[in-house]
Amino acid sequence: MKDSALFLSKITVHTDGGSRGNPGPAAIGVVIGSKEYGEYVGVKTNNQAEYLAVIFAFKKLKQMLGKKKTRETEVEFKIDSELVVKQLNGQYKILEAELQPHFLEIWNSRLDFKKVTFAHVRREENRAADAVVNKILDTEVHAWR
């Protein structure tokens, strides 16, 4: 059964990335409609994980929607990292060299959609994506010990 959010012309996506240690074991969490996705992404910084979550979400949306529907869809990202949102919106420069390729991948991915916006939300409003990250990290970090 398809998620009803995929039939809308505007989709809200919650993303989160986090690491235990900075850098440290890291994971991403993405919530699209009622679907939750996440994965362990190796040893990364918090900012790298945040960017990787957005990249993952773009790829998942394209896979779920298909090429034609992707071009007709507006996407609003809700992210609890103010720094990442301001970087993606062009308000802050990206000083960390390892983030620049991720920024470029996100910039190019946005062009496949009708409109893409990035909004900062408080952590409480991003609880589901954060929970996905922490569930994965709890498993991965425990496995490291």
Span 4-138: which CATH code?
A: 3.30.420.10
d(CA 142, CA 145) in angstroms, rounded, equals 6
Q: Tens of pLDDT along the chain (145 residues)?
A: 355 555 569 999 999 999 999 999 999 999 999 999 999 999 999 999 999 999 999 999 999 999 999 999 999 999 999 999 999 999 999 999 999 999 999 999 999 999 999 999 999 999 999 999 999 999 987 655 5
Spatial separation of the C-alpha atoms in residues 100 and 104, rounded to whole Å: 6
Q: Which residues are within 8 A (CB) of 28 and not within 5 positions of it... i.e. 6 or more apart?
A: 15, 16, 17, 38, 39, 41, 49, 52, 53, 56, 132, 133
